Structure 1
Amino acid sequence: MATEYGQGYAHRSEPHHRLPAALRAPVEGRSLREFGYVLLGLPIATVLFSWTVTMLALGAGLLVTFLGIPVLAAALAGCRGFGVLERARARRLLGLEVADPEPLRPRRPGVAAWTVALLKSGASWRHALYALVLFPWAVFAFSVALTFWTCGWALLTYPLWFWVFPAYAGEGGLQLYGDAHHSVYLDNPFEISVTALVGLVFTLVTPWLVRALTTVDGLLVRGLLGRSPLSARVEELESDRGTVVDTAAADLRRIERDLHDGAQARLVGLAMDLGLAKEKLREDPDTAAAMVEEAHGEVKLALQELRDLARGIHPAVLTDRGLDAALSAVASRCTVPVKVTVDLPARPAEAIEGIAYFTVSELLQNISKHSGARTAAVDVWRTADRLMLQVTDDGVGGADASRGSGLAGLTARLDAVDGVLLVDSPAGGPTRVIAELPWRG
């Protein structure tokens, strides 16, 4: 696998703001979108709550007859439809990406099978629970957000509109307190200024309060309308199984190609040379001897190719002596001087040990071919229940796993066993690649 070096990351510079975040938050697009999300939440929650309660109550009441089952299924189907709307609203206004829940999988075509699938789906009932929980929360969030927002802006702009009271109401200003004997109006410059300052505080606090409210909304959407952790884990395992199968198939194709183009072709040529030498043995012993000597050299090359092929499948030194000796052997074949440090209290599982060996082998091969490095280092250690690998070099950098290079293949291979590959390779170097694998000793 080849990894492209020498191409740096494209860094996107953050926009420069003259005002700090606390001052620009009230007029930022994000704050306005979050406030809009809260305002829309109440009417949507009202409709969704009414639909869910009505249909579930009707379906439960009709369960004494056969009609209750399709009514309950219709209620859940409607909740799932609202779920699509809610995920789209969260994505558009909150920037929250939530995966669609697991799809319905009826065992056979037909309305009855779909009805049963709806009633048996945990995702459908989570959507119904979302409808019941969202309504009281939406009432609370709407009331708090709208109260703080309107009061903040009204008080902040009070110096601009306080003249309405003396002009049209016959009063000096906004009445703060009043009874049969006393009345307090905000009508002098000091009180008007203090009112505006209080409004400024409310205005500055409101976006962060609304953000906290929408954080709870995001948790509700993600937890009840998204894919369940178990379903997501099953899908991940299915993907990992496909990766393992594809990797194994690719390895088999590589072995077949190496055998066909390498050792097999050499052995066929060797058999032909020995046949010719046999025919020449009586007529021209000297020529036959030379041909046998040449064939002997071909045998040595064929054996070396078979040893290399066997080492590529699973090296004997790894099985016999573990990662320390195996990685030292790999490092000795690298074109760059490599310092190997292995600090392991014991040996991990054979499968994990093999993946660690081939990961380091690929990375050192990439260093030899593409990095332009003068030195490299390999460090292996254990942290809790994880096996950690780190490969560094002082080359030109620019390695990026997102470009479909060899690092992408390593990432997929490690993902298949719940591993992680992290690449830090700025343009100009140095490059550091960290691989994390489960120990499974």
Structure 2
Amino acid sequence: MALAYGPDTRRHHLPAVLRAPFEARTWREFGYLLLGLPLSLAYFTLAITAMAVGAGLLVTFIGIPLLAAGLAMCRGFGVVERARARALLGLRIPSPTPVLAGSGKGTMKRTAALFKSGESWRHLLYALLHMPWAVFAFSVALSFWAYGWSFATYPLWRWVFPVYAGTGGLQLYGDRDHAIYLDAPGEIAATSLVGLALVLITPWVIRALAMVDRGLVIGLLSPSRLASRVSELESDRGLVVDTAAADLRRIERDLHDGAQARLVALAMDLGLAKEKLTEDPQAAARMVDEAHGEVKIALQELRDLARGIHPAVLTDRGLDAALSAIATRCTVPVTVDVDLPQRPAPAIEGIAYFTVSELLQNISKHAHAHTATIDVWQVENRLMLQVADDGRGGAAITAGGGLAGLAERLDAVDGILAVHSPLGEGTTVTAELPWRVRN
């Protein structure tokens, strides 16, 4: 699950408009735009040639493998472009699914896979569309950069004109009768100021142009939404299976180490009491009394285990009653506020219950809080949960931690977990779940 980055805590003594011309980001994006022109010309030329030759030879059946080879070549262009965007734009996008995966070893199957892949055609479209854009972006970025820096530094290199060109400065206008040169002190200062303004504007122009490139790469060279969704669902399915297996192992362990062991001991005690019933009735009565106590403990353990699987109060009375029940078992006073127009689907209701239950356990064990609150409400098609405490704070989603596991479980059903926990100011955990109506 992805979380938002915190604010940049570095202190800058200069405003952004003065820092931008010298920032590494500006120069990386400028290099990206400059490099884009020769690469896009090569992509466009090779793609057009491959498609034209392949289409022209379709009548001989040689064109089909040529067209497929052209599509494969365009996918290779995508590899280069994604690497370039990652290195210079900081844009990290996953590679599309390989078209040959699961398509067999035959040449015809591989060729058909390339033609059926929408990502292959989007790579071809990128090779064709990026060339005119790259020409425009290259021209604009280089013009702003060159004119800006040359005008801004004009007082430093103006000496070239009287020494080598025999003129007083840079010629602004000229015909057979008149010529205007930038050689007066005021004109030199004005030129430098215009250049400085262009230098300050250029980074923002470059960033705007690079933003369009980002859109092209994301839109045409990234996996399709359908493929991404399928991959996400496969990952979520694996997580659900692993979670279910872990829950089954926990139940088996609790039964084996708890109620089962206690019932075995109870059976042995009752057997001994049966043997002593005729010889020592009083000892047998004491053993039966002890066995009765063991039965009560075993029943309580079984009830706790059943409650951990799915509490009866949740099934019978819903989230309000179930959350109020677990709130009474927390080590700090908990206020519960559930405002729902109707009960959600049982699966969503169960996930919401166990999410709050685990968060309350964290409060009892780690928060050192005095009070806590539980709020549940609906916003459009989302079920919102918020558990807050006034403890020591400092909670975070870390790999392998309890909150990370909880976030993964929510993510498996398109849910979101957000944690706000500044040190010394308590912890607020907000969870979103999809709202599904009970059938």
Partner of 2:304: 308
Partner of 1:4: none
Which protein has greater RCO, CA pairs closer than 8 Å, 6+ apart? 1
Residue 32 of structure 2, aligned match among 37, 54, 58: 37
Deviates more, 1:425-434 or 1:307-316: 425-434
Partner of 1:67: 62
Partner of 1:137: 133
Q: Distance in 2 between matches of 1:241 and 1:96?
A: 28
Aligned residue pairs: how many? 432
Q: Distance in 2 between matches of 1:153 and 1:62?
A: 51
Partner of 1:321: 317
Residue 143 of structure 2, aligned match among 139, 142, 147: 147
Letter in 2 for 1:284: D
Partner of 1:26: 21
Deviation at 1:370, TM superposition (A): 1.4
Letter in 1 for 2:134: A
Deviation at 1:12, TM superposition (A): 8.7
Would you say the 8 A contact 1:106–1:117 is kept in 2?
A: no
Deviation at 1:182, TM superposition (A): 3.0
Partner of 1:283: 279
Residue 84 of structure 1, aligned match among 79, 83, 86: 79
1:247 aligns with 2:233: no
Q: Distance in 1 between matches of 2:151 and 2:268?
A: 100
Letter in 2 for 1:335: T
Residues 106-185 of structure 1 aligned to structure 2 (within 5 Å): 106-185=102-181
Partner of 2:418: 422
Deviates more, 1:114-123 or 1:350-359: 114-123
Deviates more, 1:46-55 or 1:20-29: 20-29
Letter in 2 for 1:69: I
Q: Mind listing any 5+ residue stretches in structure 1 that lack a counterpart?
A: 1-9
Residue 48 of structure 2, aligned match among 53, 57, 71: 53
Deviation at 1:11, TM superposition (A): 7.8
- The runs of 4+ residues in structure 1 deviating greater than 4 Å are 10-13
Would you say the 8 A contact 1:106–1:113 is kept in 2?
A: no
Deviation at 1:13, TM superposition (A): 6.2
Letter in 1 for 2:16: A
> For residues 439 and 374 of structure 1, do their structure 2 counterparts lie closer, same or farther at Cα, with a shift above 3 Å needed?
same
Letter in 1 for 2:293: G
Deviates more, 1:310-319 or 1:179-188: 179-188
Letter in 1 for 2:116: K
SS of the residue 2:306 aligns to: helix
Partner of 2:254: 258
| TM-score, normalised via structure 1 length | 0.95
Residues 323-402 of structure 1 aligned to structure 2 (within 5 Å): 323-402=319-398
Partner of 1:274: 270
Deviation at 1:18, TM superposition (A): 2.3
Q: Distance in 2 between matches of 1:195 and 1:275?
A: 107
1:408 aligns with 2:416: no
Deviates more, 1:222-231 or 1:18-27: 18-27
Deviations 1:391-434 (A, max 9, x none): 11122222111242111110011001100011111222311111
Deviation at 1:47, TM superposition (A): 0.5
Letter in 2 for 1:64: V
Letter in 2 for 1:38: L
SS of the residue 2:384 aligns to: strand
Letter in 2 for 1:176: L
SS of the residue 1:401 aligns to: coil
Letter in 2 for 1:394: D
Deviation at 1:367, TM superposition (A): 0.9
| TM-score, normalised via structure 2 length | 0.95
CA RMSD of aligned residues (A): 1.5
Letter in 1 for 2:326: V
